[in-house]
Chains A and B, each alone.
Chain A
Amino acid sequence: MTGIAGPIARELRGPTAPLMREWTRFSPRQRLARYTVWLAIVAALVWSVRSIEIIPEFLWDAPEQMADLLVRMWPPDLRYYPDAVHAALIETIHIATLGTILSFGMAVPLALLASRVITPFAVLNGFAQLLLVASRSVNTLVWALVFVAVFGPGAAAGVMAVAFRSIGFVGKLLAEALDETASGPVEALRAAGAPWGSVVLKGYWPQVQPAFWGIALFRWDINVRESAVLGLVGAGGIGVVLDDALNFFQWDKAATVLLAIFAVVIVAEIFVTRVRARLI
């Protein structure tokens, strides 16, 4: 250790420095708040664990059972693909794409109504927002159940489910993009005497165009994943094949379906990333 000298050093060396001050990371109030939050979390967890019905034997057994399932599934039998899987896979992509397109048809007017800068009527804004929130707070699967009840089982219900769930998502993001546009170009057009339609088309549209395509790609990607499960409630697509395979214990067929879903999800993600890079 090097020699420390001087007034500061002298103070540093003292056994108990004369100016011993307290330092704690949090003030008492902060600490109380933190303890309260942690207590709430722990209480919620304790309640959950105590009242939930888990059979311990099942829990200890789970890894073994999981391994057993994987062994039964391996290897996937790809011979099922051409006859049983391919058509359903294409149907799934159709459901996702058509659902996305349809949702835009309904979401764009709602977004225009919901945006404060486009529609300067608070009542209309609120009404559009309410519809958007309603669409968002119902899960795609629930929408699918509803449309299966209305249309009967099949892809039509799937398309409607995807579309109705997407309206809220697309509409919200689009309205936000509209609200964030710069007012300068719009003012310039208004000053030039442009009618409402032209202002929207030439003032707002160029500004939100990148966001628009970004949202479309983003939602399509999500919809591809979601439409793979719609078949479980009878709304068409590859989920139907998966459900049948599992119900008839055709593990190698189920594995083929899972592999196909896996592949489509990855291809969709790569496609979206590529297109987004080109558009932006």
Chain B
Amino acid sequence: MSGAEAARRAFAPNWQGRAALAALAIYSVYAASQLDIGLERIWHGFSEAGAFLGRMVPPNFTRWQLLLDGMLESLQIAFISSAVGIVLSLPIALLAARNLMPWWVSAPARAFIGFCRSLHYVIVAILFVKAIGFGVLAGICALVVASIGFISKLFAEAIEEISPKQVEAVRATGAGFAAVLLYGVLPQVASRFVGFCIYQIDSNLRNSTMVGIVGAGGIGGTLFAAFKRFDYDFVAAILLVIIALIFAAELVATRVRAALR
């Protein structure tokens, strides 16, 4: 069969993959032209960047009182919103777990969680600012919504993955629903819940420095104002402090996680 011999190929060329890559390249050029991003604009921008960076150094800490107040306010927003968010997430996640609740309870709870997740926290913060006015309360509310969206979703999924056998055994002892939760369900998911909470506290710390951009309290407002007034040396100072806070938070989170293991 000499004909078949010639038709044999070591590799089937991946036409689909190549076509997808070509499409991606064409799209990039098209989208860049749509957004009016040209090479010379980028080039011009990066030459501006030098001047911009030049105005950032040295960072200016003379208004440290303003900086400190903003940072403390951000911390407070993060603490309160994490606490409220965690306390609310626990029951919502239990309601949303399909292996514990009938569908007519879990479906609305899941829809609520999905709703909390769907909008970016800054958008939620704007809505709260428009509804209840400028200030920390709006920031707290926005981050509570974000915390519920994140923790409840993952916690509900964790509950749905538990071993039903351990639950069955506790049920067989004649324990009531609450006792089954305490002994059969929670021990299986408690450490994961703590993990989700630590992650969310970390996120809330980062995000609490941003909600101020839309007027919802914290250092973000100070940062935005400094940008608008071209006080780039003060901007640099604020950014350095925010990054330091994020690093510190990540360090603590890593150590707590290691201690829990």
Whether A associates with B in a native complex is: yes
Interface residues of A (CB under 8 A from B): 41, 44-45, 47-49, 51-55, 58-59, 61-62, 65-66, 68-69, 90-91, 94-95, 97-98, 101, 137-139, 141-142, 145-151, 154-156, 159-160, 225-226, 228-229, 232-233, 236, 242, 246, 258, 261-262, 265-266
Could you list 24 examples of A-B contacts with CB < 8 Å? A48-B75, A51-B76, A52-B136, A54-B137, A58-B135, A62-B141, A66-B132, A91-B35, A98-B28, A101-B28, A138-B243, A149-B227, A151-B41, A151-B45, A151-B48, A154-B35, A154-B36, A155-B36, A155-B37, A156-B35, A226-B120, A232-B122, A233-B213, A258-B119
The 3 closest A-B pairs by CB, nearest first: A48-B76, A155-B35, A69-B131
Q: Are B130 and A246 in contact (CB under 8 A)?
A: yes
- B79 at interface (Cβ–Cβ under 8 A)? yes
- Which of B24, B48, B118, B128 meets A101, CB within 8 Å? B24
B177 within 8 A of A: no
Chain A: CB-nearest residue to B83: A45
Residues on A with C-beta less than 8 A from B246 are 137
Given contacts A49-B80, A69-B131, A150-B45, 20 further A-B pairs with CB under 8 A are A55-B135, A55-B137, A58-B137, A98-B28, A98-B37, A101-B24, A137-B246, A138-B239, A141-B122, A149-B227, A149-B230, A150-B49, A154-B35, A156-B42, A159-B37, A232-B126, A232-B213, A232-B214, A246-B126, A261-B123
Q: What is the CA–CA distance of A94 and B28 in the complex, to the nearest angstrom?
A: 9
Question: B95-117 vs A: 1/0 string, CB under 8 Å?
Answer: 00000000000000000000000
Within the complex, what minimum Cβ distance (angstroms) separates A270 from chain B? Answer: 12
Bound complex: CA A159 to CA B38 (Å): 12
Within 8 Å CB of A49, what residues of B? 76, 80
Within the complex, what minimum Cβ distance (angstroms) separates B248 from chain A?
11
**Are B120 and A145 in contact (CB-based, < 8 A)?**
no
* CB of B31 within 8 Å of the partner chain: yes
Expressed in whole angstroms, the Cα–Cα distance for A242 and B36 within the complex equals 21
The smallest beta-carbon distance between A87 and chain B, in angstroms, is: 10
Number of interface residues of B (CB under 8 A): 56
B164 within 8 A of A: no
B171 at the interface (CB under 8 A from A): no
Please give, as numbers and ranges, the residues of chain B lying within 8 Å of A265 by CB-CB distance.
118-119
Whether, in the assembled complex, B190 has its beta carbon less than 8 Å from a beta carbon of chain A, the answer is no
User: Out of B42, B137, B232, B242, which one reaches A62, CB within 8 Å?
Assistant: B137
State whether A97 and B209 are in contact (beta carbons under 8 Å apart), knowing that A53-B136, A62-B131 are contacts in the complex. no
Q: Bound complex: CA of A225 vs CA of B120, how far in Å?
A: 6
Q: How far is the CA of A129 from the CA of B119 in the complex (A)?
A: 31
- Are B76 and A156 in contact, with the CB atoms below 8 A? no
* A166 vs chain B, min Cβ distance (A): 15
CA A219 – CA B242 in complex, angstroms? 23
**Interface status of B61 (Cβ within 8 A of chain A):** no
Asked if residues A142 and B135 are in contact (CB atoms below 8 Å), the reply is no
Q: Complex Cα distance A148/B131, Å?
A: 28
- Knowing A52-B80, A150-B52, say if A94 contacts B41 (CB, 8 Å): no
B224 with A69: CB separation less than 8 A: no
Q: Which residues of A contact B42 (CB under 8 A)?
A: 156
A94 touches B34 (CB 8 A): yes
List chain B residues, Cβ under 8 A from A90.
Answer: 34
Interchain CB contact under 8 A, A68 and B131: yes
Q: A62-B131, A232-B214, A262-B118 are in contact. Are A54 and B224 (CB under 8 A)?
A: no
> How far is A147 from B213 in the complex, measured between Cα atoms in Å?
16
Contact A52 B120 (CB under 8 A): no
Complex Cα gap A53–B34 (Å): 45
Contacts of A138 in B (CB 8 A): 239, 243
Q: Which residues of B contact A232 (CB under 8 A)?
A: 122, 126, 213-214
Please tell me which one of the listed residues A47, A54, A94, A261 contacts residue B135 in the complex, with CB atoms under 8 A apart: A54
Q: Which residues of A contact B32 (CB under 8 A)?
A: 98
Please indicate the chain B residues that have their CB under 8 angstroms from the CB of A65 in the complex. Answer: 131-133
Contact residues in A for B185 (Cβ distance below 8 Å): none
Q: Is B71 an interface residue (CB 8 A)?
A: no
**Distance in angstroms between the alpha carbons of A228 and B35 in the assembled complex:** 15
Residue of A nearest to B207 (CB): A139
In the complex the two chains form, what is the Cα distance from A147 to B49 in whole Å? Answer: 8
Nearest residue (CB) in A for B76 is A48
Q: Is the CB of A156 within 8 A of B41?
A: yes
With A51-B76, A65-B131 in contact, is A156–B24 under 8 Å at CB?
no
Q: For the complex, what is the distance from the CA of A229 to the CA of B223, rounded to whole Å?
A: 17
Contacts of B64 in A (CB 8 A): none
Q: Does B72 make an interface contact (CB < 8 A)?
A: yes
Residue of A nearest to B127 (CB): A69
Tell me the smallest distance from the CB of B64 to a CB of chain A, in Å: 18
